[in-house]
């Protein structure tokens, strides 16, 4: 605040009487000095003005000090919360176009030689045997998912199973394509599908590393639980180096434990870090016996295992030991 104080007193020679010849000769153009207050009322008014101005100047607080410290802390907390929310939104927006929704369809025996219509609606001659998630590995249409998501397709001897994959276009809308099984490895619960889509329409996921993960760091699971496409759940890395069972009866070493919710339909989807990089493949959850409710103890296959396994499956298909 700027206070307008009275002007400083004029030089001493200006206090000479206005009619003084000396004053007129020495300062012929000098303006007249301010009038000196006359009478007790004018003196009192001038003193009050000076006293009030000085008092305001000394005690006027800053704007921040007018606010309680708790209000300032709350405003800072809200700002930081908004920053965190914007970060999570950005992670989802950048990653979700790489996530796909997978349906395992079983067709009737008398229609197995007929080409199915993979339009938006499921074929009337097919029923959904299971659903899951996956993510785009490259621009050639390869998709990573869990083996147990497509196990019936992998072990189908009668040719009655088909795989329907929903992808996301540039506008955010889903469109279906048939997924062809390229290879699988039950030992690590991994499989590769392939869709026939133009390269410029595909957005592969960003692959990170699980080598330097730390317990407590944030992570995010994206998938299609119970058929609800592209669902985001958040949590932290709860543990490292866990051992979980694999579909072939052996065990997967080094699994990532997280409290980010992983439910039926999340399997095969990506677990990503705060930069949107895939650090694991969501694969399993412990449920309370007889309830079907997640206990909050969920697991993902480390992406370092995925990086070693998927290129082999793409090039060579299913390994000899896993062929049926």
Q: Per-residue pLDDT tens for 56-98?
A: 455 445 545 555 667 777 777 667 668 888 899 999 999 999 9
Question: Distance (Å, rounded) from C-alpha 65 to C-alpha 61?
Answer: 6
Mean pLDDT, rounded, of the chain: 79
**267 assigned to active site:** yes
* Four-point Cα dihedral 67, 69, 72, 76, nearest 10: 180
**Would you call 310 helix, strand, or coil by DSSP?**
helix
Q: Which of 148, 161, 238, 246 is catalytic?
A: 148
B/e letters for 100-135, b = 16+ CB within 10 Å, e = fewer, are bbbbbbbbeeeeeeeebebeeebbebbeeebbbbbb
* CB 251 within 8 Å of CB 214: no
Torsion region of 259: left, alpha or beta (phi above 0 gives left; psi -120 to 50 gives alpha): alpha
For the question of residue 57 being annotated catalytic, the response is: no
Report which secondary-structure segment, H or E, holds 136. Answer: strand 126-136
- Give the residue among 228, 262, 276 at the shortest CA–CA distance from 92: 276
* Residues 6 or more apart in contact with residue 212 via CB below 8 angstroms: none
Could you say which of 96, 133, 267, 294 is catalytic?
A: 267
Query: What pTM was estimated for this model as a whole?
Result: 0.72
Catalytic residue among 104, 185, 189, 273: 189
Q: How is residue 73 written in tokens?
A: 């802390």
User: 11-25, 38-52, 92-106: which has the minimum mean pLDDT?
Assistant: 11-25
Residue 142 CA to its chain's centroid (Å):
24
d(CA 89, CA 92): 5
Annotate 140-208 with DSSP letters as a single string.
T-EEEE-GGGSHHHHT-SSS-EEEEEEEE-TTS-EEEEEPEEEEEEGGGTEEEEE----GGG--PPPB-
For residue 287, pLDDT beyond 90: no
pLDDT tens per residue across span 181-194:
999 999 999 999 99
Q: Is the pLDDT of residue 115 over 80?
A: no
Distance CA 272, CA 200 (A): 23
- Indicate if the alpha-carbon torsion angle 177, 143, 214, 265 is positive or negative: positive
The mean pLDDT value for 26-46 works out to: 53
Q: What percent of the chain has pLDDT over 90?
A: 48
Q: Return the DSSP state at 14.
A: G
Task: Kindly give the residue spans of alpha helices, DSSP state H, lying in the chain.
Answer: 21-26, 39-59, 63-66, 69-95, 151-154, 303-316
Structure tokens at 99: 């996530």
pLDDT top residue among 38 and 83: 83
Token pair 């759940």 is at which residue? Answer: 233
- If one counts every other C-beta atom within 10 angstroms of the C-beta of residue 277, the result is 16
């Amino acid at each position: 605040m700027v206070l307008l104080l009275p002007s400083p007193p004029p030089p001493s020679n200006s206090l000479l009487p206005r009619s003084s010849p000396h004053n007129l000769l020495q300062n012929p153009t000098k303006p007249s000095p301010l009038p000196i207050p006359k009478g007790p009322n004018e003196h009192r008014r001038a003193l009050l003005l000076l006293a009030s101005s000085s008092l305001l100047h000394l005690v006027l607080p800053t704007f921040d000090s007018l606010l309680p410290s708790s209000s300032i802390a709350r405003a800072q907390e809200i700002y930081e919360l908004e920053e965190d929310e914007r970060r999570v939104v950005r992670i989802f927006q950048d990653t979700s176009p790489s996530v796909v929704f997978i349906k395992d369809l079983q067709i009737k025996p008398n229609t197995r030689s007929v080409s199915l219509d993979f339009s938006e609606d499921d074929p009337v001659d097919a029923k959904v045997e299971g659903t899951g998630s996956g993510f785009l590995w490259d621009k050639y249409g390869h998709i990573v998912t869990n083996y147990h998501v497509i196990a019936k397709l992998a072990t189908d001897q009668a040719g009655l199973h088909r795989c329907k994959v929903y992808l996301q276009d540039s506008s955010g809308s889903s469109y279906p394509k048939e997924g062809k099984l390229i290879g699988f490895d039950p030992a690590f619960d991994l499989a590769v599908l392939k869709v026939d889509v133009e390269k410029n329409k595909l957005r592969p996921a960003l692959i990170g590393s699980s080598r330097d993960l730390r317990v407590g760091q944030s992570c995010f699971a994206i998938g299609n639980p119970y058929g609800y496409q592209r669902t985001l759940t958040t949590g932290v890395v709860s543990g490292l180096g866990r051992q979980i069972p694999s579909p072939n009866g052996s065990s997967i070493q080094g699994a990532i434990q997280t409290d980010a919710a992983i439910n039926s339909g999340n399997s095969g989807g990506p677990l990503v870090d705060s930069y949107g990089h895939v650090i694991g493949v969501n694969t399993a959850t412990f449920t309370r016996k007889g309830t079907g409710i997640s206990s909050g103890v969920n697991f993902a296959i480390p992406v370092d295992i995925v990086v070693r396994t998927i290129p082999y499956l793409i090039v060579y298909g299913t390994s000899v030991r896993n062929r049926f």
